[in-house]
Chains A and B, each alone.
Chain A
Amino acid sequence: MTTAQFTLSGWTWNPAVLVTGACALVAYVAAFRDHRRIGWFAAALAVFLLTLLSPLNTLADGYLFSAHMAQHILLLLIVPAFLLFSLPRTLSLAARPRVLAHPLLGWLAGVGAMWFWHAPALCNAAVASRPVHALQTVSLLVLGSLFWRQILAPREQERLSPPRAIFYLFSACVACSVLGIIITFSPVTVCSIYTMQSNDRFGMLQTIRMGWGFSPERDQQIGGLLMWVPMCLIYLTAILAQMARWFAQPASPTAKI
């Protein structure tokens, strides 16, 4: 199969994903009167659907570790962030039990999601088994939301103050980069299921290996690099946004000094 053919036929019409998306949209419209931020919700939904239905998903499903990594990042960092943006600004996320609101928990959720799912056994299981894969997808969305909640909660009071937020984001970035570095330079295979040639449902293996030049080693390298470099840039964007938030407070002559 050529790349062009694959782009057209590599879509998966996963009913569970479509139903979830539709339900989420209905729930959003029903739950909130204020629809001014529905654009963010649409963006979250679009990224969610594209991640799980497009050829990227097909590639991640047994062909390419790097495609899996891209999915992982989109589900953990992009979709939850857009979701939090879409919430009306008056909504309080002050959670009970209060432990859910603790920054350490958020940090561990974001970093843990990365490390946990890249233990070789779990990484393979998520590709080999449907239920584990579904569990992975859901957990990434939930853990990502817990992570971003500290930064992007709709109410200003429920977010970390900018200096703390920057420290939170920077340390999370370092913790994930270390894993990215390990995966990039590891002499052993992290997710061995991607190196097996048996499961070539689309007849794409030839194109991927020869045409695209993705040898298994390079595939793992790119996966690691995706986690190391572009993911850090997402954190960097968030850090710069925090700087902007910090400096944005308007100067008032009556401000207490």
Chain B
Amino acid sequence: MNEITTVLGRAGLLTAEQREHWKMAWLSTVDHKRIGILYMVTALFFFVIGGIEAMCIRLQLAVPNNTLLHPDTYNMVFTMHGTTMIFLVAMPVLFGLANYVVPLQIGARDMAFPRLNAFGFWLVPLGGILLHFSFLAGGAPAVGWFAYAPLNETPYSSQLGVDYWALALLVLGIGSVSTSINLLVTVLTQRSPHMTLRRLPLFSWMIFINSFLVILALPVLNAGLVMLLIDRRLDTHFFLQPGGSAILWQHIFWAFGHPEVYIVAIPAFGILSEVIPVFSRKPIFGYEFVAGSTVAIAFLSLLVWAHHMFTVGLGHAVDLFFVASSMLIAIPTGVKVLAWSATMVGGRIRLGTPMLFCVAALAQFLVAGLTGVSHAVAALDWQTKNSYYLVAHFHFVFVGLIVFAILGALHYWFPKMSGRMLSERLGKWTFWLMLIGFNLTFIIQHFLGLAGMPRRIYTYPDLPGWGWMNMVSTIGAFFMAAAALLFVWNLAASLLHGKLAGDNPWNAWTLEWAATSPPPHENFHELPPIRSRRPLWDDSNPDRPDPVVGTKWQAETTAPEKNKTAVITFIISESGFFGVLILAYLFYNATPQPGPDTHNLNLLKTGLFSLCLFASSFTIWRSEASLQRGRPRAMAGWLAATILLGGVFILGQGLEYWGLFQSGVRVSSNLFATTFFTLTGFHGLHVCVGLIALLIVLGLALAGDFKQGPSPALKAVGLYWHFVDAVWVLVFSSIYLLPHLR
């Protein structure tokens, strides 16, 4: 143990007094820098697992008619490989980088909510363990990373693998949303006073935009996973015949899945936007265009999911619209590629390891983008869908762009994190091995796909050309594995013996390089003045500073209150979750079906109980107003009334449920019952959570916590409570009122 503490201490990752209990110091940390590193170490661990799975796949496919892996095992391996790489590697490592870098770049002391940050991180190991526990519980999921229905349903996947898969993704999804809310609130409220939103470094800007994407897209998947779990555990038929719709699963999955591609790609864009200017010794070309195109990409990514479903048969009309809108994404991404290229033109380019990785990422992303546009053409997509052409395309995105950008970022920020430089010699070896290996593996897969090789087959006959092309691909994979090993070796060796980095080894211009390497617990003792997007450039070149980026709108200089902001972002993400559940209810109940229906409900009774809930919105508003006027006793009274009214509503819901149970209605009776219980049940759960929060606030109020005046806690809980009521307005209208309007 002594060696570890010595190494960590030498690298500045442990203070002297923490040496005794170094494990607890790291496990219980709420420091954004340590959490960031924990995220990255966890991702590295799962990267090794996912990498071993990838090597299994490539070994099995190296020669025709191979018998190395059993077909079932092969299905499990590629499912776990995809799920692991996306949810346990790409997202955690990017959250880790964001966690480490964003607060430093914006001159903050820490994230807005350090403990929520730790919670978000610890859900990653939990999700990882849940997912991999399936190996011990009868077999890993073998349904592909998007787990299409009805294969993901009990009759077709009867073992527990899919249940663990869904649970793990649910846990990871909740963690991602909480971390993204944290990042959003951090950027909005924790910036140093002069770091206006328009002066944000591009990495922080892109993480900011990306966090919106996460809180909008992940809840959609969570809703789908919940429905899948209800199907599997409670014998219902969301995605299963009779009655259910397998296509709905595809819609839900891709409504999440397409933004997901950008959720991992946009931070990579951010990395490129940091590294390329620094290593070209020029400011980024067209900051405004790079920043603005990110907004366009994020917006469009939410719009075009149906292009993953051209082969489903949605109809020519639908296909046509999504062909057009998908192609539009090429414009903002093209703007970015041009901006990065123009940044390099005329610059004094230093080909350090971070820059090598980023330039390769740029070139490979261009190829990925071109094959991507080809998939937007429905007619071509029908031919290449689910062939190795598609496999090659998305590996060019995920590895060619994202992994290369991440490796660039790790080489770039490692000196800041550890205080030591990574070996440049080993880094260059890593780069060249990776570059050769990656292109050997995946370029040839385009041709394999065009020759007709489908994805997800455990072996293939000895067709002309297939054998040697697959062999080349497998050889390439070994080069990549060697590069990965070399990288881990470089990390370990440099942590021990690396050259000391100093504060700003790359002569970069953003604030994180103004802190020491590694930064102290509180990040900065003193910040340089911030007038432009490159404060450190201005600091070292006072005779020719960057043009000042002004502040025009008041919103830029005053930070919003963090609790309120957090609840608003949480509400946005919850709206996505309830939106899917309500849409599913409307979809399944558009046409009447045999069995129980809305006639079994008691409109009058539930209407009265609903009035109680709506009234509670009024009482909580009065409660806030009382506190505003400095009358804490009245505030507590109104708060108690709110809790009472909410309790009455829950009681009413209980009565409604009891009546339904009495008349033999179960969640699995038919799709009306399923969607009714799912939607109202989740709303009821939210009411209960709200009641607990209100009780806590009431307890605090009675303990005399709010004597000082208005409290952000009450305001935040109040907002959440209004949201719960607003959802009930929609739910009540959809379930109880709509049938009477027909």
Query: Of all chain A residues, which has the CB nearest B194?
Result: A257
Q: Which residues of B contact A177 (CB under 8 A)?
A: 303
Say yes or no: B529 contacts A257, CB within 8 Å.
Answer: yes
Residue of chain A at shortest CB distance from B325: A229
- Given A161-B553, A188-B590, A181:B295 Cβ within 8 A: no
Chain B residues within 8 Å of A178, by CB? 579, 583
B550 CB–A CB distance under 8 Å: yes
Chain A residues whose CB sits within 8 angstroms of the CB of B322 once the complex forms: 229
**Inter-chain contact B547/A229, CB cutoff 8 Å:** no
Asked if A184 contacts B197 (CB within 8 A), the reply is no
The verdict on B444 contacting chain A, using a C-beta distance below 8 Å, is no
> Which B residues are in CB contact (< 8 Å) with A240?
292, 295-296
B548 within 8 A of A: yes
Q: How far is the CA of A166 from the CA of B587 in the complex (A)?
A: 30
Q: Is the CB of B292 within 8 A of A247?
A: yes
Q: Which residues of B in the span 280-315 have a Cβ within 8 Å of any Cβ on A?
A: 288, 291-292, 295-296, 299-300, 303, 315
Contact A225 B318 (CB under 8 A): yes
Contact of B288 among A221, A230, A247, A252 (CB under 8 A): A247
Q: Is the interface of B mostly helix, strand, loop or mixed?
A: helix
Q: Which residue of B lies closest to A257 (CB)?
A: B531
- A236:B300 contact, CB within 8 angstroms: yes
Measured CB to CB, the closest approach of chain A to B302, in angstroms, equals 8
| Residue A182 interfacial (CB < 8 Å) | yes
Q: How far is the CA of A243 from the CA of B297 in the complex (A)?
A: 13
Give the residue of A221, A233, A244 whose beta carbon is less than 8 angstroms from that of B315. A221
CB distance from B238 to the nearest CB of A (A): 15
Size of A's binding interface in residues, CB under 8 A: 42
Q: Determine whether the beta carbon of A188 is less than 8 Å from that of B591.
A: yes
Q: Which residues in window 202-231 of B have CB below 8 A to A?
A: none
Contact among A164, A232, A243, A252 with B295 in the assembled complex (CB-CB below 8 Å): A243
* Known pairs A162-B553, A249-B550, A257-B530; A185 contacts B292 (CB<8 A): no
Whether A251 is near chain B, meaning CB under 8 Å from some CB there, is: yes
In the complex, are the beta carbons of A243 and B317 less than 8 A apart? Answer: no
B551 touching A256 by the CB < 8 A rule? yes
Q: Is the CB of B295 within 8 A of A182?
A: no
Within A127-173, the residues touching B (CB, 8 Å) are: 161-164, 166, 170, 173
CB distance from A238 to the nearest CB of B (A): 11
CB distance from B531 to the nearest CB of A (A): 5
Most buried by B among A182, A236, A250: A236
B315 and A218 within 8 A (CB): yes
**How far apart are the CA atoms of A251 and B295 in the complex, in Å?**
22
* In the complex, A78 has a CB within 8 A of chain B: no
From 72 to 91 in chain A, residues with beta carbon under 8 angstroms from any chain B beta carbon are none
Cβ–Cβ contact A255 & B551, under 8 A:
yes
Asked whether, in the complex, the Cβ of B288 is within 8 Å of the Cβ of A225, the reply is no
State the CA gap A188–B592 with chains docked (Å).
Answer: 11
Q: Are B591 and A243 in contact (CB under 8 A)?
A: no
Q: How far is B590's CA from A184's CA once the two chains are assembled, in angstroms?
A: 13
Given contacts A161-B555, A163-B555, A187-B590, contact A243 B548 (CB under 8 A): no
| Residue in contact with A221 in the complex, picked from B194, B292, B317, B549, CB distance below 8 Å | B317
B586 adjacent to chain A (CB < 8 Å): yes
* B382 on interface, CB distance cutoff 8 Å: no
Q: Which of B495-548 contact A (CB under 8 A)?
A: 529-531, 547-548
In the complex, how many angstroms separate the beta carbon of A171 from the nearest chain B beta carbon? 9
| B303 pairs with A229, CB closer than 8 A | yes
Q: Distance in Å from the Cβ of A244 to the closest Cβ of chain B?
A: 7
Q: Is A257 a contact partner of B303 (Cβ separation < 8 A)? A: no
Of the candidates B548, B554, B555, B590, the one whose C-beta lies within 8 Å of that of A255 is B548
Give, as a whole number of angstroms, the nearest-CB distance from A216 to chain B: 12
With A253-B548, A257-B530 as contacts: A239 and B295 at CB distance below 8 Å: yes
Cβ of A186 within 8 Å of any chain B Cβ, yes or no, is: yes
* Residue A222 is within 8 A (CB to CB) of chain B in the complex: yes
B552 proximal to A (CB < 8 A): yes
**Whole-angstrom CA separation of A184 from B291 in the bound complex:** 33
Q: Does B722 contact A (CB under 8 A)?
A: no
Q: Are A185 and B587 in contact (CB under 8 A)?
A: yes
Asked whether B321 is an interface residue with its Cβ less than 8 Å from the other chain, the reply is yes
Closest chain-B Cβ to A139's Cβ sits at a distance in Å of 20
Given contacts A161-B553, A240-B295, contact A232 B587 (CB under 8 A): no
**Is A246 an interface residue, CB under 8 A from the partner?**
yes
Residue of A nearest to B193 (CB): A257
Contact indicator A251/B555 (Cβ below 8 Å): no
Interface residue? B19 (CB, 8 A): no
- Kindly provide the distance from the CB of A168 to the nearest chain B CB, expressed in whole angstroms: 13
Chain B's closest residue to A222 (CB) is B317
Whole-angstrom CA separation of A166 from B583 in the bound complex: 25
Which residues, 318 to 358 on B, are CB-close (under 8 Å) to A?
318, 321-322, 324-325, 328
Interface residues of B in 572-625 (CB under 8 A from A): 579, 583, 586-587, 590-591
Q: Mark B237-259, 1 if CB is under 8 A from A, else 0.
A: 00000000000000100000000
Q: State how many angstroms separate the Cβ of A195 from the closest Cβ of chain B.
A: 16
Residue of chain A at shortest CB distance from B304: A229
Q: Is the pair A166, B295 in contact by a Cβ cutoff of 8 Å?
A: yes
Contacts of A164 in B (CB 8 A): 555
How far, in angstroms, from A251 to B325 measured CA to CA in the complex? 35
Bits for B705-742, please: 1 = Cβ < 8 Å to A, else 0: 00000000000000000000000000000000000010
A201→B325 CA distance, assembly (Å):
36
CB of A163 within 8 A of CB of B197, answer yes
B428 interface contact, C-beta 8 A = no
* Chain A CB within 8 A of B10 CB: no
Looking at the assembled complex, report how far the CB atom of B697 sits from the nearest CB atom of chain A, in whole angstroms. 26
**Per-residue 0/1 for B552-566: is the Cβ within 8 Å of any A Cβ (1 yes, 0 no)?**
111100000000000
Interface residues of B (CB under 8 A from A): 194, 197-198, 251, 288, 291-292, 295-296, 299-300, 303, 315, 317-318, 321-322, 324-325, 328, 529-531, 547-555, 579, 583, 586-587, 590-591, 741
Taking beta carbons and an 8 Å cutoff, which residues of A are in contact with B?
119, 121, 161-164, 166, 170, 173, 177-178, 181-182, 184-188, 218, 221-222, 225, 228-230, 232-233, 236, 239-240, 243-244, 246-247, 249-253, 255-257
Closest 10 CB pairs of A and B: A255-B550, A251-B547, A247-B288, A243-B292, A161-B553, A225-B321, A229-B321, A188-B590, A249-B552, A187-B590
A-B contact pairs, 28 of them (CB 8 A): A121-B741, A163-B197, A164-B555, A173-B299, A178-B583, A181-B583, A182-B586, A185-B251, A187-B590, A218-B315, A221-B315, A221-B317, A221-B318, A229-B324, A229-B325, A240-B295, A240-B296, A244-B288, A246-B198, A247-B288, A247-B291, A249-B550, A251-B547, A255-B548, A255-B550, A256-B550, A257-B194, A257-B529
Please give 11 more A-B residue pairs, beta carbons under 8 A apart, in addition to A243-B288, A255-B551, A256-B551: A161-B555, A170-B299, A182-B583, A185-B251, A188-B591, A222-B317, A229-B324, A246-B198, A253-B547, A255-B548, A257-B531
